Structure 1
Amino acid sequence: MTKRFDAEARQGLFLLAPPFVYALLVLAAPLLTILTYSFFKDGYLEVISEFTLDNYREVLGDPIVRKIMLRSLMVSALVTLVTVALAFPIAYYVSFMVRPERKSMWLFLITIPFWTSYLIRVFLWKVILGYNGVINSTLTGLGIIDEPLTFILYNVNSIVLTLAHAYAPFAILPIFVALEKIDRSLLEAGRDLGESRVMTFWRVTLPLAMPGVIAATLIVFIPTIGDYVTPELIGGGKIPMIANMIQVQMLALDNRPLGSALAVTAMLIVALVSVIFLFLNRRFLKVRQ
């Protein structure tokens, strides 16, 4: 019996070893490299391998860094709110209103944005929102405005709109999966007990769909706070976020230790915000139950 157990254990380790090594090389090695660099000194032309906390002191003490980090958090939170708020009705419609044989077609349509690269989609929004773009040309052609609008591009609103469109499928799909798992008999039971559609949704559907909402929130929030392309192109470089600041330190100024400290600090803040969100959501579900 023991020999059989040992053989199964060895077989399991043999199967797990390749993906574990792959994850270690692809994920852990870059993170450890950045973490190591963040404790080194910048010698302007080279990195000095000498332990120091000066990079973190500069990051935490610089008001510009705090302002950009706060802006990044606010923009990401706004993008997440808009994306999830728009994704939930779509996922609800596909799950509850669309006939089963047509759901696959709707999911196929939702994934169409993935057919083109992220960079092309950002450029398309720049064309749509530009000074001589689709919106301004249409409004001018219809005589609604005399001159092209200048406030629809190179601002926070345009960044939020572009990011919300780019990450919409990432929010729709996990919410749809959570809604599909809901037992429809529970909704019928709520209606039989005299609850209205609104109260049934609030007391039954929404709590059961919260795992999908949580997944969608984290999937959207975590990558958007580190987005570099959209603030650079849609924001015109006028509204930098933390990823743009890291890029400047890493490439333009060749200050890899400070850039690494910025990256590590941003990761820790994102992790802290995510943990707080999960804790508050768990408390919310306990109260609802």
Structure 2
Amino acid sequence: MAELGGRLGRWRRGDAASGYLLISPPLIYTFALLAVPLATIALFSFWTQDYLTIIKTPTLANYREALTDPLYRELMLRSLLISGSVTVATVLLAFPIAYFVSFHVPPARKSLWIFLITIPFWTSYLIRVFLWKVILGYNGVLNTTLQGVGLIDEPLTVILYNANAVVITLAHAYAPFAILPIFVALEKIDRSLLEASLDLGENRVTTFLRVTLPLAMPGVVASVLIVFIPTIGDYVTPRLVGGPGGLMISNMIQTQFLKLNNAPMGATLAILAMLIVGAIALIFVALNRRFLRGAR
């Protein structure tokens, strides 16, 4: 028995070693391309810079300035509001589309619909942003159409070079990211549960609220996180269609690194933005878990 146990132990150790060997390349790759740059940014945030000279004496001066300067606070708050608005608008518009494709499109044509939803990915992100500039411009497609049908007398100025334009453009850009996770969650719902709910006296509205929506919440949560987290770091769209009133914290980070030659402050703002977004995401996930427990 002792000899058998020793052989089994050697086999387990060998099996574990093989497993570690298999995962080591992607683990090293992830560490090199994600953990090391992130640690470098965190380290930079505790330094200061005097023109071209990096002063490596640890300090919290950057964090004090970032948390007390009204400009940084305003940009962070605006970024959260814009990203939140984009997330709400995108998910609310994506859910009906995903629901229609999942429940009302014949199975043989669902792949075609998913294919059509992903068509925007075929074009460059910059091209899509510039197209929205053409649509929302002072003499753009939207204003010209509204004037042509007599709904407005003069072009609207509230749809370009402000936060509204950023929300519209980002909502369109991230729509497929929101539709697909919700569609996958809806496809996993057992249709017999919906039939059982109707047989037990529930109507279609209450069946949706008490059965379909709770079961689809994992997809909704995934959509919220997929849209909210990257949009707060988008700096191309605010720069091209946002104007002074639509700039976000990411634009300030870019300015600190590339124009003001203050990499430590840019790193500090990036770390603070990451921490705030991470905290909001965790709170949202916790509230969603409480909602699901209450629904049960």
TM-score for the superposition, normalised by structure 2: 0.95
Q: Do structure 1's residue 69 and structure 2's residue 76 form an aligned pair?
A: yes
Cα distance in 1 between the residues matched to 2:131 and 2:52: 39
Aligned to 1:176: 183
What code does the residue aligned with 1:232 have? R
Q: Does 1:130 align with 2:137?
A: yes
Alignment match, 2:232:
225
* Structure 2 residue 189 is the aligned partner of structure 1 residue 160: no
Task: Note if contact 2:163-2:245 (Cα within 8 Å) is conserved in structure 1.
Answer: no
Give the alignment's Cα RMSD to 1 decimal. Answer: 1.2
1:103 pairs, out of 106, 110, 115, with: 110
1:195 matched to 2:202? The reply is: yes
Worse-matched range after superposition: 23-32 or 206-215? 23-32
What amino acid sits opposite 2:204 in the alignment? R
1:135-284 equivalences in 2 (<5 Å): 135-284=142-291
Provide the rounded CA distance (Å) in 2 between the counterparts of 1:4 and 1:24. 29
Q: What's the offset of the Cα at 1:115?
A: 0.4
1:92 aligns with 2:99: yes
State the match for 2:14 in structure 1.
7
Identity of aligned residues (%): 65
Report the alpha carbon displacement of residue 124 of structure 1 after superposing the two structures with TM.
0.8
Q: Deviations over 1:165-190 (max 9, x none)?
A: 00000000000000000000000000
What TM-score, normalized to structure 1? 0.97
Q: Secondary structure, in 3 states, of the residue corresponding to 1:159?
A: helix
The amino acid of 2:110's aligned partner reads K
Q: Distance in 1 between matches of 2:281 and 2:242?
A: 26
2:89 to 60, 75, 82: 82
Segment drifting more, 243-252 vs 150-159: 150-159
| 2:90–2:172 contact (8 Å) kept in structure 1 | yes
* Counterpart secondary structure, 2:42: helix
Unaligned runs of 5+ in 2: 1-7
Name the SS of the counterpart of 1:47 in structure 2.
Answer: strand
State the alpha-carbon separation in 2 of the partners of residues 187 and 19 from structure 1: 42
The one-letter code sitting in structure 1 at the alignment partner of 2:291 is F
Q: Distance in 1 between matches of 2:154 and 2:199?
A: 58
Q: Offset at 1:143?
A: 4.9
Distance in 1, matches of 2:242 and 2:183, equals 32
- Partner letter of residue 37 of structure 1? F
- Write the letter of the residue equivalent to 1:177: V
- Higher Rg: 2
The one-letter amino acid paired with 2:214 is P
Larger deviation: 142-151 or 170-179?
142-151
**Structure 2: how far apart are the matches of 1:148 and 1:207?**
43
The whole-number CA distance in structure 2 between the counterparts of 1:125 and 1:280 is 35
Q: CA deviation at 1:150?
A: 2.1
**Aligned counterparts, 1:15-54, within 5 A:** 15-54=22-61
CA distance in structure 2 between the aligned counterparts of 1:141 and 1:202, rounded to whole angstroms: 42
SS at match of 2:202: coil
Describe the SS at the equivalent of 1:188: helix
Distance in 2 separating the partners of 1:138 and 1:262: 42
Aligned-partner Cα distance in 2 for 1:149–1:157: 12
The offset of 1:8, in angstroms, is 1.5
Deviating more after overlay: 112-121 vs 185-194: 112-121
Number of aligned positions between the proteins: 289
> Does 1:56 find its partner at 2:63?
yes
CA distance in 1, matches of 2:290, 2:150: 53
Q: Partner letter of residue 268 of structure 2?
A: A
What is the alpha-carbon distance in structure 1 between the residues aligned to residue 171 and residue 237 of structure 2? 11
* 1:136 shift after superposition: 2.2
